[in-house]
Amino acid sequence: MIVDFRRKSPALPPLTIMNSTVEAVESFRFLGSTISEDLKWANHIDSIVKKAQQRLYFLRQLKKFNLPQELLIQFYSAVIESVLSTSITVWFGSATKSDIGRLQRTVRTAERIIGAPLPTLQDLYSSRVRKRAGKIITDSTHPGHPLFELLPSGRRHRSLATRTSRHRNSFFPQAISLLNT
> Which residues lie below 8 Å from residue 71, measured CB to CB, with a gap of 6+?
62
Cα four-point dihedral sign 52, 58, 61, 65: negative
- Residue 5: pLDDT over 80: no
User: In this structure, is residue 143 part of a structural domain?
Assistant: no
User: In this structure, is residue 70 part of a structural domain?
Assistant: yes
> Which residues lie below 8 Å from residue 119, measured CB to CB, with a gap of 6+?
81, 107, 127
Residue 48 pLDDT level (bands cut at 50, 70, 90): very high
- Residue 36: pLDDT over 90: no
User: In this structure, is residue 142 part of a structural domain?
Assistant: no
User: In this structure, is residue 66 part of a structural domain?
Assistant: yes
User: In this structure, is residue 19 part of a structural domain?
Assistant: no
pLDDT of residue 104: 94
Contact 52, 60 (CB under 8 A): no
Average pLDDT, the chain: 90
pLDDT digits (tens, 9 = 90+) for 79-114: 999 999 988 988 998 889 999 999 999 999 999 999
User: In this structure, is residue 139 part of a structural domain?
Assistant: no
User: In this structure, is residue 145 part of a structural domain?
Assistant: no
User: In this structure, is residue 24 part of a structural domain?
Assistant: no
Domain membership of residue 73 as a residue range: 41-123
Please give the tally of structural domains in the chain. Answer: 1
Rounded to whole angstroms, the Cα distance separating 51 from 48 reads 5
